[in-house]
Amino acid sequence: MVTKIIIGCDHAGLNLKKTLINFMESKGIDVDDAGTYTKDSCDYPQIAHEVAQKIAAGEYPKGILVCGTGIGMSIAANKIKGIRAAVVSDTCSAKMSRLHNDANILCLGERIVGEELAKDITEIWLNTDFLGERHARRVNMIEQL
């Protein structure tokens, strides 16, 4: 079980980020908020970079990024070596992104998933362990790309 996580969003993901912070804190998870903090337009690659760098440096085991669709955040985060950011909009993909891909950043789209589904996705993602074994070989291959 993750006890510490970092989360970030752009202006299009602010409401869902707040919901997820409250949800995770209610589960006893220590959540660090990397911003943004207002609805003012901002550049999502900066937030994604900050969160991804801290995870790649080992400061956090996992992170969550939220924007309108989750796509932009995932593209930006995946530019950082050691990051495996997965855009997820259903519970099966949440589980598989952890089981098979050892995703270390969950990317969600506020315009795509509702609050209750986002909570379910987050809970499954946080509580699913990587299977390792043959999947570890594949994750290592990804890391070599």
Domain with 116, as residue range(s), is 4-144
Please state the domain count of the chain.
1
- Confidence band of 134 (pLDDT split at 50, 70, 90): confident
pTM (2 d.p.): 0.96
Report the number of secondary-structure helices (H) and strands (E) in the chain.
6, 5
Q: What whole-number distance in Å separates Cα of residue 104 and Cα of residue 125? A: 10
Q: Which residues are marked as active site?
A: 67, 100
- Confidence band of 145 (pLDDT split at 50, 70, 90): confident
Run of H or E including 33: strand 30-33
* CA-closest candidate to residue 51, choices 92, 86, 9: 9
